[in-house]
A and B are shown apart, each in its own frame.
Chain A
Amino acid sequence: MTIPETPGNGHDGHDHEDHPGMAHDEEMGYYALRARAMEALLVEKGICSPDEIQGMVDRVEARSPADGARVVARAWADPEFKALLLSDPEAALAQLGYSLPVTTPKLDVVENTDKLHHLVVCTLCSCYPRALLGRPPDWYKSLAYRSRAVVDPRGVISEFGLDLGDDVEVLVLDSTADLRYLVLPRRPEGSQEMTEEQLAELVTRDSMIGVTNARSPQAVGAG
């Protein structure tokens, strides 16, 4: 969960008994206010400390799709790493220096091939592999994506610019519970000579959700 940033509203000196309508709170949106209220209650009840909340926010903010791209590029370049990533993602990530906190939901990595294309959605809320990719894009949390990704995945994928033939099986993963899914996209053709750093530039956030493929070397001017 992300606590929205609001100006001049740190932990110290903030009166948590304020309510909507008070002058300085008019700058805060409804959800920001609600998040503040919940944060205050969690602290008051001793469920977690402000430091723990801030630590979680910092951890998520420190991650971005570049972290996922680094992992995918290593998997493309190193078959042994790829096998480990698919069978024991946490052990594979540890090799790259990523240690997921124990409170992080279990990660599962699924591989796209020329015959099987995975698409990830959370129809119930916005479950996403935040521990590796950071915050999800807004569209991922939208009602439109969450409903249409399960009913018409091929239509959604096509709107992202990818037309999959009927010879490719589309497999939607609805992460309703305690697992978070990362798609290992297909390694693009023409990328054989690229270094791991160059490969990482082909890996987009969207390709790790499965709404598109990775970029072609031509698309980044490397072909």
Chain B
Amino acid sequence: MNQGPTSSGGESARFRAGDEVRVRVDNPGGHFRTPAYIQGQAGRVHKLCGVFPNPESLAYGGDGQPAQPLYRVEFSQKQVWPEYRGPVSDKIHVDIYQHWLEPV
């Protein structure tokens, strides 16, 4: 069950819209919501969506704390898929929790 955004007790936001970030490559086991195809990719923060309990903890009955800022991150399709059929301007946005992102 979704717990909704939280206003207190979460990690503070490290990134702002426009920041260059890279998605960590990891397989923590169990439930996580960072698709494999976007791991290792560099993108740009489109916006901060809010602060949400960590689903990796919620999935196993945990309290989701510390809650994680969630970002909509923009990637170039041509960069994610070298064989991509379409113009270079095409983009993909993926929602990624802060602990999966590192600064570039």
Interface residues of A (CB under 8 A from B): 48, 102-106, 108, 123-124, 150-155, 166, 169-179
Instruction: Tell me which of B2, B37, B38, B93 contacts A105 (CB under 8 A).
Output: B2
- B residues less than 8 Å from A102 (CB atoms): 4
Q: Tell which of B2, B49, B90, B94 touches A153, judged by Cβ atoms closer than 8 Å.
A: B90
- Contacts A171-B92, A175-B95 supplied; 4 other A-B pairs, CB < 8 Å: A153-B86, A169-B90, A177-B52, A178-B52
Note all chain B residues with C-beta closer than 8 A to A155: 85
The CA of A168 and the CA of B4, in the complex, are separated in Å by 34
Q: Which of B82-100 contact A (CB under 8 A)?
A: 84-87, 89-97
B33 within 8 A of A: yes
Most buried by A among B84, B87, B96, B97: B87
Query: Which residues of the other chain, B, contact A177 by a CB distance below 8 angstroms?
Result: 33, 49, 52, 55, 70, 95-97
Q: Are B94 and A174 neighbours in the complex by a CB distance under 8 Å?
A: yes
| Residues in A neighbouring B37, C-beta threshold 8 A | 123, 150
Q: Which of B15-49 contact A (CB under 8 A)?
A: 33-35, 37-38, 49
CB distance from A109 to the nearest CB of B (A): 13
B60: interface (CB < 8 Å): no
Task: Enumerate chain A residues within 8 angstroms of B72, measured Cβ to Cβ.
Answer: 179
